[in-house]
Amino acid sequence: MIITGKIIDVHKRRIYPGVVTISSGKIESITETEKSPDIFIMPGLADAHVHIESSMLVPSHFAVAAVKHGTVAVVADPHEIANVLGRQGVEFMLENAKNVPVKMIFGAPSCVPATQSESAGAKINAADIREMLQEGRVKFLAEMMNFPGVIYDDVEVYSKLEAARNAGVPVDGHAPGLTGEELKKYIAAGITTDHECSSLEEALEKISGGMKILIREGSAAKNLEALAPLLNYYPDEVMLCTDDLHPETLAAGHINKLVARLIGMGYDMFNVIKAASANAFKHYRINAGLLRPGEPADFIIVDDPSKMNILQTWIDGQCVYQDGRTLFIPGEVEKVNKFKCTRLLQDEIRVINEEKKMNVIVARNGELLTGSEVLRTGEEPFVSPDIEEDILKIVVKERYNDKPPAVAFIKGFGMKRGAMASSVAHDSHNIIAVGTNDRDIVAAINMIVDSGGGLSVVSDEGADILKLPVAGIMSDLPVTAMASRYEKLSETVKSLGCRLDAPFMTLSFMALLVIPKLKISDRGLFDGLTFRHIPLFVPNPHDKYKT
């Protein structure tokens, strides 16, 4: 097999007309010529950190979408499904990914449950991690979100780190805002990457300590513009990743969009391409080629590196995408799940007005971080949403057991009527709902209970649900169908007055306790700065918060 075009050589930092000869899945030779077609041959792209589950697609359908955008390798943390199903969930991801040619490597989730302050569906302990790494099917220890456990010498945390060290695999980090001596201790524990930097100053301190920085630009967290200057000074120490990518975003583009954007911003093309390919291949030891003889024939053909429209994607010498078509079939999808709760009643989410002030979550558009406010509750016997002041009710119902729901209040959604709910609620994926009235909130939650997972919207105008039958967080539909259904549901929420760009994504992160400030779990409000639960109502000055 012979492919001709302009070769983008990231090693010698040059572009030249050439012929690529492929044999037995590898590059046999690359020969420079005098001229070639006006297309570019370059290394295939890698997403250096992603939770595939956040796309609400199973790995095989994610792969179908990704190759359209030139992605040949994916570094995946199956943390989300592991919090639902434990090792069974990790096995599901591994087995489903076997059906496709994309080079997907999975990590052993290090924080299942993510915290002890919520109810998850499973637990993965140090012994499990050790066994998984010894079996060799997982290739790294996934993000160590429990940075307090590292800093304060948690025995179980260090047992997991020791298992990774003994297996000789990389350890991913997750340490938003960590600095100084605490950061040094975190790095000294063997943690090699971080994808949570939001400022250049933070990233530079972590690089100086020996970390690799993953520049993240996903559907929720967007740090590319802030961190892009790293490409000028530390091009070998950075990678590109998405972390969380919803289906409509993936349908429109993947790492290729980040490459085009960075080149368009004036960053060195070779540095950008290395960050999008070679650096991830090397760090995670992915057997992917970089356009050199003897290596796997993994490459893409694009119209223009500054535009990154993908014409063809090749993996192991096989063309897997061409002329707008993916050239492989993802196969059947097993419906694994875990839903044990029963329907909710309206009386279960009534809030008796115990005090005159309460803690309120403040959601921010496009951010994982939240704020908090203390607001007066008035004189009514029950606390209800105040639509005019944008104070809505938020409810979390555990889905693994039948227990009373947690109820609080939130600002920032802007809904004027109706309710929305989701069983995608990081990290434990209990059911979370926001709404303007109890009737619609309960109806939205019960639709999800009845379906065994999904996203729902309820109002006087009707009800709709996008079912997620795989672990309550993924669908067996392809990306085009998922993107269409997801966008339609999001637009329905916006028609109810919601001001957020991505309502369901924002809702899902209101349960992400490891990202400050104020969040909610199935056990109530949680202060992510002090790492403890706090009461809904603000006590008298002489009282103390119960932890």
Q: Where are the domains of the chain?
A: 44-289, 346-533
pLDDT for the residue 540: 63
Peptide bond into 59 cis (omega under 30): no
Exposure pattern of 504-533 as b/e (b: 16+ CB <10 Å)?
A: bbbbbbbbbbbbbebbbbbbbbbbbeeeeb
Helix (H, G, I), strand (E, B) or coil at 249: helix
Tokens of 180: 């100084």
Helix (H, G, I), strand (E, B) or coil at 160: helix
Q: What class has domain 44-289?
A: alpha beta
pLDDT for the residue 300: 98
**Under a CB-based contact definition with an 8 Å cutoff, are residues 439 and 346 in contact?**
yes
**Under a CB-based contact definition with an 8 Å cutoff, are residues 61 and 330 in contact?**
yes
**Under a CB-based contact definition with an 8 Å cutoff, are residues 442 and 344 in contact?**
yes
pLDDT for the residue 356: 84
pLDDT for the residue 541: 53
**Under a CB-based contact definition with an 8 Å cutoff, are residues 491 and 253 in contact?**
no
- Residues 171, 228: Cα–Cα separation, whole Å: 23
pLDDT for the residue 270: 98
Claim: this prediction has a pTM higher than 0.85 = yes
**Under a CB-based contact definition with an 8 Å cutoff, are residues 419 and 433 in contact?**
yes
Alpha helix ranges (H) inside 146-301: 147-151, 155-167, 180-188, 200-208, 224-227, 230-233, 247-252, 255-264, 269-275, 278-283
Helix (H, G, I), strand (E, B) or coil at 184: helix
Q: What is the pLDDT along the chain (547 residues), one digit of tens a residue?
A: 999 999 999 999 999 999 999 999 999 999 999 999 999 999 999 999 999 999 999 999 999 999 999 999 999 999 999 999 999 999 999 999 998 999 999 999 999 998 889 999 999 999 999 999 999 999 999 999 889 899 999 999 999 999 999 999 999 999 988 999 999 999 999 999 999 999 999 999 999 999 999 999 988 788 999 999 999 999 999 999 999 999 999 999 999 999 999 999 999 999 999 999 999 999 999 999 999 999 999 999 999 999 999 999 999 999 999 989 999 999 889 999 999 999 999 999 999 998 889 999 999 997 888 999 999 998 899 999 999 999 999 999 999 999 999 999 999 999 999 999 999 999 899 999 999 999 999 999 999 999 999 999 999 999 999 999 999 999 999 999 999 999 999 999 999 999 999 899 999 999 999 888 999 999 999 998 888 999 999 976 544 433 3
DSSP state of 474: B
pLDDT for the residue 546: 35
